[in-house]
Amino acid sequence: MTTLNATHDLKLRSWVTSANMAGCDFPIQNLPFGRFRRAGSAESWRIGIAIGDQILDLKATGLIDTDDMNSLMAVSPTDRRALRSAISQGLSEGSEKQKAWAEALLPQAQAEYTVPCHIGDYTDFYTGIHHATAIGRLFRPDQPLMPNYKWVPIGYHGRSSSIGVSGQRFKRPRGQTKAPDAAAPGFGPSKRLDYELELGFFVGPGNTLGEPI
C-alpha cells in the first residue's frame, strides 16, 4: 500500500474496533464515501464514510453541511485533503471525538445505499486487451483485435440512466435471438447473461469544452 499522506499510515488504529480486524475491507486507512440511509426507512439520503463494519454519518459529525455528493466532490484538493485528515483524526484511537461520533455510527448491515452522486454523462473505455479480444471475437471472429487497439484508446458513449447500486434487480432484455438449428430468429428474453467488473472515475469540477482535464 502506498503511503500518500499521514492518513494512510499503516500504524494507525481506530476506536471503531471492527476497523482493526485482519482482512477488514474498511480499515482507517481506507475511508470511502457513499450515500446511505437506514434500511426500509423514508429518511433522506446522507453522505457517510465506511469504517470497519459501520458507517459514519458525516453531517452528524459537523464536518460537512450538505447531503449533495457532487458539491462535496467539487471542492478544491486542499479542502478535500483537509476533510480526509479531519475524518482520520476523529476516528483514530484516543480521539476526543469518540464519544460524540459514536452516536453518528450506523451498522452497515442496517443500511441501504443509493448511487452516490448525480452522473450527468459518461464515456466507457476498453482498458484490457483480453477483454477487448473476447468482445471482438463475438463480432469479428477472423480478427478479434483491431490493429490500432494497442495505440488508440477505444471510448464510447454510455447511458448514465442505466447506472445503479450493487444488488439491484433487473429484467432480462427482450429481443431477437437465433438458435444454431433454427431457420429464423425468435423474439423473447435473453437466455444468457454477460457481466463484468466496472471501475469508474468521477471528475469533480469538470472542465470547459475543449480543454483538457
H/E stretch holding 61? helix 58-61
Contacts of 124 (CB under 8 A, 6+ apart): 155, 156, 157, 158
Longest Cα–Cα distance in the chain: 74
| Element housing 35 (H / E) | strand 33-38
- Residue 89's Cβ-count burial label (10 Å; 0-12, 13-18, 19+) is middle
Report the phi/psi class of residue 139: left, alpha or beta, with left for phi > 0 and alpha for psi in -120 to 50.
alpha
Which residue among the candidates 8, 118, 130, 131 is catalytic per the annotation?
A: 131
Between the two ends of the chain, the Cα-to-Cα distance in Å is: 27
What values do phi and psi take at 51, rounded to 5? -145, 115
Q: Is 118 a catalytic residue?
A: no
Q: Mention every residue, 6+ apart, whose C-beta is less than 8 A from residue 45.
A: 35, 36, 37, 67, 114
CA distance 165 to 80: 24
Task: For residue 18, give Cα distances in angstroms to 140, 141, 201.
Answer: 50, 50, 28
Q: Which residues are catalytic?
A: 131
